[in-house]
Amino acid sequence: MTHRHVVRPGARSKSAALAAIGEAMDFPDYYGQNLDALFDCLTDLSWLPAGHHVLVWEGGDEDVEDVLVDAAAVMSHGERTFSVRRPG
């Protein structure tokens, strides 16, 4: 099953993207809203149901984009997978 997680439009700066991605992915309370915490949460996903999780984000901060790409590579197989798509 595919689960879509849509990041609110306009979350393009690093701090806005980290917060909005956390909201869209329903990250646990311990999420620290930094790049390391983003990677850790995206490569865990144990609080979400099994299946493919697609983050829909318009893009923005290059450092955040790099973490998303790295996490998607790690999470390309298994009970919970992850990828990133642009809207549209």
Rounded to whole angstroms, the Cα distance separating 31 from 59 reads 20
Rounded to whole angstroms, the Cα distance separating 10 from 34 reads 18
- pLDDT at position 84 is 97
- pLDDT at position 88 is 77
Helix (H, G, I), strand (E, B) or coil at 40: helix
Residues 6+ apart with CB under 8 A from 35: 18, 63, 64, 67
For residue range 38-59, list pLDDT tens digits in order. Answer: 999 999 999 999 999 999 999 9
Q: Which residues of the chain are modeled with pLDDT < 50?
A: none
Domain boundaries, the chain: 2-85
pTM: 0.94
φ, ψ of residue 45 to 5 degrees: the values are: 60, 20
**CATH class for the domain made up of 2-85:** alpha beta
